[in-house]
C-alpha cells in the first residue's frame, strides 16, 4: 500500500508529508480494512503537519475523511460484507463505558481516539478502522463528493446544533470554508436566514449564490441582530465579532480544534444571557443524521481533486485559500 506519512512537523512549504510504501494492514478483532478511493483534506491535517497540534503518535498517516470499499474484515464483524462501501471520520473509537459515553456524548470521552491523530488515517490506499465506527455512505453521493461530508459536513452540523439555531431564525456564519459552505445548505434547508462574514470577496459571492441573504467582512456588522452564530475561522477576534452581533439569549458556537487567543471583550457583550460554546468533535449519531440529511436536501459538495502524492500541495493550497470548497485526495491505486 501507499501512504503519505508525517514524522516531523514543519511549514507546509517544506513538504513535511513523505510518501511511503508498507504492507496492507491485517484487521484486528472488530475491524475492517478499506481500500481507500478518496480522502478529504482538513485544516486539522494542516495544523498537525505544521505543528500547531502536537502529534499523538510519530510517525502518523493523517486524514480523517476517507471513503472506500471493504477488502478485509475480522471474523467477528457482522455489520459489513466484502465490497461494501464505508466511510471513516474523525472519531475512531471511544471507551463506551464512561458517563459521557453512556449519555450519548462519546465525543467528550477522555479515552476517545481520533483518525489520523491517534491511529493512521486516510492519506493512503488502505486503512484499518473499527467496524462499529465506520459509516454507511448514501448511494446518492459518489466517493469524491462524499468525502468532504465526513468532517466539514458533520462538524458543521454539530456546530449548528450546539448554536441552538431554530428554523426561521437568523444565523451568522463567520468564515466560509468547506465546513461553513455545507452548514449554510443545512441552515437554508431549515428555513434560516443566513448571514456570512468572511474576508474573501470570492467567498462572499459564493455565499450569496448559495442563499445567504447578506455577506460581508469580519469587521462589518450584519444588518440584523443574530439569534445564533457559528465561527469557523481559527481566529480569536472573529469570536468577539460574532458575539457582538448576537441578539439577547443567542449563542456563539466556536467550531475550531485550535484557536488563536480571543481578545478581551466587555461583559456587556455577554449580558442578556448570551453564550459562548465550543464544539468538541462529533458523535456517530451526528454523522448518521448529517449523511441522511445530506441525501435528503441534497447537499452539493464542491472540491478540488489532487493525487494522493500531492497531499503537501493540497494542504498548501488550503492554507493559502486557493481551494474551491474542499480539497480531496484521489487515493485509487
Residues in the chain: 333
- Does residue 258 register a pLDDT over 90? no
Per-domain residue ranges of the chain: 2-141+301-330, 153-278
pLDDT at 207: 96
* Distance of alpha carbon 306 from the chain centroid: 18
DSSP line for 54-119? --SSSSB-----EEEEEEEE-TT--S--TT-EEEE-SEEE--S-SHHHHTT-GGG-TT-EEBTTTB
Mean residue pLDDT of the chain comes to 97
Grid look-up 485544516 returns 43
Quickly name the fold that domain 153-278 has.
Answer: Rossmann fold (3.40.50)
pLDDT band at 214 (very low <50, low <70, confident <90, very high): very high
Identify the CATH number of the domain defined by range 2-141+301-330.
3.90.180.10
pTM comes to 0.94
Determine the average pLDDT of the residues in 34-63: 97
Percent of the chain with pLDDT strictly greater than 70: 100
Amino acid at each position: 500500500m501507499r501512504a503519505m506519512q508525517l514524522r516531523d512537523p514543519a511549514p507546509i512549504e517544506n513538504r513535511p508529508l513523505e510518501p511511503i510504501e508498507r504492507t496492507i494492514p491485517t484487521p484486528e478483532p472488530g475491524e475492517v480494512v478499506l481500500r481507500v478511493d478518496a480522502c478529504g483534506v482538513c485544516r486539522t491535517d494542516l495544523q498537525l503537519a505544521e505543528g500547531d497540534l502536537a502529534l499523538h503518535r510519530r510517525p502518523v498517516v493523517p486524514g480523517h475523511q476517507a471513503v472506500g470499499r471493504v477488502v478485509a474484515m475480522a471474523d467477528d464483524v457482522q455489520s459489513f460484507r466484502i465490497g461494501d462501501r464505508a466511510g471513516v471520520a474523525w472519531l475512531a473509537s471511544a471507551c463506551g463505558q464512561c458517563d459521557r459515553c453512556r449519555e450519548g456524548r462519546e465525543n467528550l470521552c477522555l479515552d476517545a481516539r481520533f483518525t489520523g491523530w491517534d491511529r493512521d488515517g486516510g492519506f493512503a490506499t488502505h486503512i484499518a478502522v473499527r467496524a462499529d465506527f465506520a459509516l454507511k455512505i448514501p448511494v446518492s453521493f459518489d466517493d469524491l463528493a462524499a468525502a468532504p461530508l465526513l468532517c466539514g459536513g458533520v462538524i458543521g452540523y454539530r456546530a449548528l446544533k450546539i448554536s441552538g439555531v431554530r428554523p426561521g431564525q437568523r444565523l451568522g456564519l463567520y468564515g466560509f470554508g468547506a465546513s461553513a459552505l455545507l452548514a449554510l445548505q443545512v441552515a437554508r434547508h431549515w428555513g434560516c436566514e443566513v448571514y456570512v462574514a468572511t474576508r474573501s470577496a470570492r467567498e462572499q459571492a459564493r455565499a450569496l449564490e448559495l442563499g445567504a441573504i447578506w455577506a460581508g467582512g469580519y469587521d462589518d456588522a450584519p444588518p440584523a441582530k443574530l439569534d445564533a452564530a457559528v465561527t469557523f475561522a481559527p481566529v480569536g477576534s472573529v469570536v468577539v465579532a460574532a458575539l457582538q452581533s448576537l441578539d439577547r439569549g443567542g449563542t456563539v458556537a466556536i467550531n475550531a480544534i485550535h484557536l488563536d487567543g480571543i481578545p478581551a471583550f466587555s461583559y456587556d457583550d455577554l449580558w442578556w444571557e448570551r453564550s459562548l460554546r465550543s464544539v468538541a468533535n462529533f458523535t456517530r449519531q451526528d454523522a448518521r443524521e448529517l449523511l441522511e440529511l445530506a441525501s435528503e436536501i441534497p447537499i452539493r459538495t464542491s472540491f478540488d481533486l489532487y493525487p494522493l502524492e500531492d497531499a503537501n500541495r493540497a494542504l498548501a493550497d488550503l492554507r493559502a485559500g486557493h481551494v474551491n470548497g474542499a480539497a480531496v485526495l484521489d487515493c485509487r491505486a
